[in-house]
A and B are shown apart, each in its own frame.
Chain A
């Protein structure tokens, strides 16, 4: 069982990442809060040591993605996010970012994950393959297709 100090540390370190992964998959703040808490509960009950900070971060990313997938299966709702939720979630962003976010969220789930892990967390394909437990070539293939879809939607200048 983890200590209060440890919980505070991982809360400060990984909360934003977990929140963003939730944002990529879930439709409203209630689902987000459910999954967010569930990820940290899994950490609370996880009793194996982490080899490094990177290992711990990758663990949080993988657990958050899996928790979102499980939650979506559980609630069996639509797997795309309605625009009003995006507006609600990204109300503070300007129009350019709203358009980008909408484009990312319109991607199939597997592409969303690789786009986020690659472009935001800056993981190389080999690390993404480990986190998602897929083959490296599969990750390359998903990244390539995701880029094509984004380019088709946003034009050539997005990345």
Chain B
């Protein structure tokens, strides 16, 4: 009955058409699969690049700083993996040493040992000189413990201190390591006539000797002036990172209590290995 149906019944896809189409589809399948693989490879390469870039950024970013001061002042930037990623010198002697002693990309304890054990550096470690190691870190306790346990640091009687990032920024404005700057600030508490420029020309031992001398005078300039320096305006402001020094509960730190003014602290503190 259906003439239209009957008229179209003979219209069929030829075998040739089907065969050609299947061949065409196979080619297209290969093309699209290859394109998909290329896209996956590209995406994987992008992810690898991002991971590598992110990993390198993470590796290269210092999260802690260690200042090693004798006369040469050297600052180390430590990444989150405990490796040295920055090494800066703050005087000519330091620059010479940095050129001779490779410190980067090694664990910080190894870097300190390598530095103290190097011939070019040990020349500065005379009987009169002393090693001052100052740490800025959120995990300063661990770092200080490890440094104190270090054989070479112990042999040279390294004195350890902590500081903060504000102090470091201020120190760099004076082209000085934050370890030496901390000592300058401490000296300025006893002798307010001393300037940072004056400290520039002094070795760490000289600064420490003057501090000891001022202490030895009883009240030092404080006694004469009849006041206690609060270090306002010159001292490092606390950045909130290490503000719980009063909680140490260690008599060793009692001598510093007088520097607290109730609103904060001086931004640095001496820890152990006292001479």
B interface list, Cβ under 8 A from A: 1-8, 10-13, 17-18, 20-22, 24-26, 28-29, 32-33, 36
* Cβ-defined contact, A19 with B2, below 8 A: no
A87 on interface, CB distance cutoff 8 Å: no
Q: Please provide the chain A residues from 33 to 91 with a CB less than 8 Å away from any CB of chain B in the complex.
A: 33, 36-37, 40-41, 44-45, 89-90
Contact in complex: B32, A1 (CB < 8 Å): yes
Binary flags per residue of A1-41, CB closer than 8 Å to B gives 1, else 0: 10010011001000110111001000000001100110011
Contact flag A119-B20 (CB < 8 Å), given A18-B13, A40-B25:
no
> With A44-B29, A90-B10, A97-B10 given, is the CB distance from A15 to B17 under 8 Å?
yes
Closest Cβ–Cβ distance, residue B163 to chain A (whole Å): 61
A interface residues, how many (CB within 8 angstroms): 34
A15 to B14, CA, bound (A): 9
User: Known contacts A37-B20, A37-B24: does B29 contact A100 (CB below 8 Å)?
Assistant: no
**Looking at the complex, which one of B6, B11, B26, B32 makes contact with A16 (CB distance below 8 Å)?**
B11
Q: Is A123 an interface residue (CB 8 A)?
A: no
Please tell me if the beta carbons of A36 and B2 are within 8 angstroms of each other in the complex: no
Quote the shortest CB–CB distance from B22 to chain A (angstroms).
6
Do B12 and A16 have beta carbons less than 8 Å apart?
A: yes
Please tell me if the beta carbons of B21 and A159 are within 8 angstroms of each other in the complex.
Answer: no
Expressed in whole angstroms, the minimum distance between the Cβ of B103 and any Cβ of chain A is 55
Q: How far is the CB of B13 from chain A (nearest CB, A)?
A: 4
| Cβ-defined partner of B29 (8 Å) among A1, A11, A96 | A1
Q: Determine the chain B residues whose CB is within 8 A of the CB of A7 once the complex forms.
A: 22, 25
Q: Are A41 and B13 in contact (CB under 8 A)?
A: no
- Report A107 CB to chain B, min CB distance, Å: 11
Q: Contact check: which of B8, B18, B33 meets A15 at CB < 8 Å? A: B18
Q: List 6 A-B contacts (CB under 8 A).
A: A1-B32, A33-B21, A36-B17, A44-B29, A158-B3, A159-B3
